Amino acid sequence: MNIVIMGATSHIAKGLIERLLARGDEHLYLFSRSEESVQNFLGNIGQRERCNYSICGDYQAFKSFSYDVIINCIGVETRNKHNCDFTRYFSVTEEFDNLAISYLRERNRNALYISFSSGAVYGKGFSEPVNDDAVNALHINHIAQEDYYSIARINAEAKHRAHGDLNIVDLRIFSYFSRHINLNDGYFITDVIQALLNNEVLITDDNNIVRDYLHPDDLLAMILCCVEAGRLNRAFDVNSSRPASKQDILDHFTREYGLRYEIRQILKTSPATGAKTNYYSTNRDASQIGYHPRFSSLGTLEDQARPLLSSIIHRKKELINAHE
């Protein structure tokens, strides 16, 4: 297969590129505004010398190649709502989504377009996990900044369903973690890892959030299920085998790596896409096309955090050897 990845330097794209190149069964077209960044990443993972990829820095050339699968990994900053250009939620999503759909309509109607959506499509109220009957209750006359990203995702998904004659799948990802994450991202899990690497005490609030961390292997498995399923036009929630609470995560990293933390009643500020206590889904419709995740959320964190925390693991081994 010929697979194009739009946004090849994004966090999600890196995990897919690493695994697809290792498979060696596909030719990848890697689109990014920064060809140098893509080259550097390929060098970091020891894949620069492979011949089954092409790097493209100009999206105007997008329609010049032949693809069987289009994977849109282009995202918009959602972590910090301060000094954020919220119009980009809509304009960036529209620009590259239209590019992919235009390719399907004009070049190859049989190609599969996989668009990464988000659990945020369900709205900002996650006091309980969502399911197949979940409703996004928008206050139409009082739309807030926290609603913008959700609306952008709803717009994209609705447009995809309207193109019912095309193969378009929206994969809703709630949380994703890999060794390629930017540790300065400011998420809870990156704060945990930073605290360990810097030998600092992690300060966190008393809100015991629940997250569903998807493993890169499971994400690729889901994509391959979509490819093998034939004609599809629908959305799927993509889950790990089991979510994890903040306390589960704190206990794990305390036990395995010696994390030190303090829980304080910190003044809570709402994230750019709204507060999410139980940010996961119990919908398992993806099993209908053969998706069965191998990794739990804690399993994902343990597997993918290990290379990030290798210095701590090495230090612990040295201490054990010294005592022996």
Q: What is the 3-state secondary structure (H, E, C) of 212-255?
A: CEECHHHHHHHHHHHHHCCCCEEEEEECCCCCEEHHHHHHHHHH
Across the beta sheet with 27-31, the strand order is 53-56, 27-31, 2-6, 69-72, 112-118, 167-173, 233-238
173 within domain boundaries: yes
Instruction: At 201, list the tokens.
Output: 């005490």
232 within domain boundaries: yes
**What is the average per-residue pLDDT within 112-132?**
93
pLDDT at 50: 81
State the residue range of the domain holding 79.
75-180+213-242+277-297
28 within domain boundaries: no
101 within domain boundaries: yes
Instruction: At 60, list the tokens.
Output: 């105007």
Contact between residue 310 and residue 257 where contact means Cβ atoms under 8 Å apart: no
199 within domain boundaries: no
pLDDT at 125: 78
261 within domain boundaries: no
Across the beta sheet with 210-211, the strand order is 244-245, 210-211, 278-279
CATH number at 165 reads: 3.40.50.720
CA distance 248 to 251: 5
Average pLDDT taken over every residue of the chain: 91
Per-residue pLDDT band at 270 (split at 50, 70, 90): low
168 within domain boundaries: yes
Task: For residue 300, give the H/E element and its range.
Answer: helix 297-305
pLDDT in tens, 75-103: 876 655 446 788 999 999 999 999 999 99
**Domains of the chain: total:** 1
150 within domain boundaries: yes
pLDDT at 286: 97
**What is the average per-residue pLDDT within 206-223?**
96
Contact between residue 231 and residue 112 where contact means Cβ atoms under 8 Å apart: no
pLDDT at 124: 83
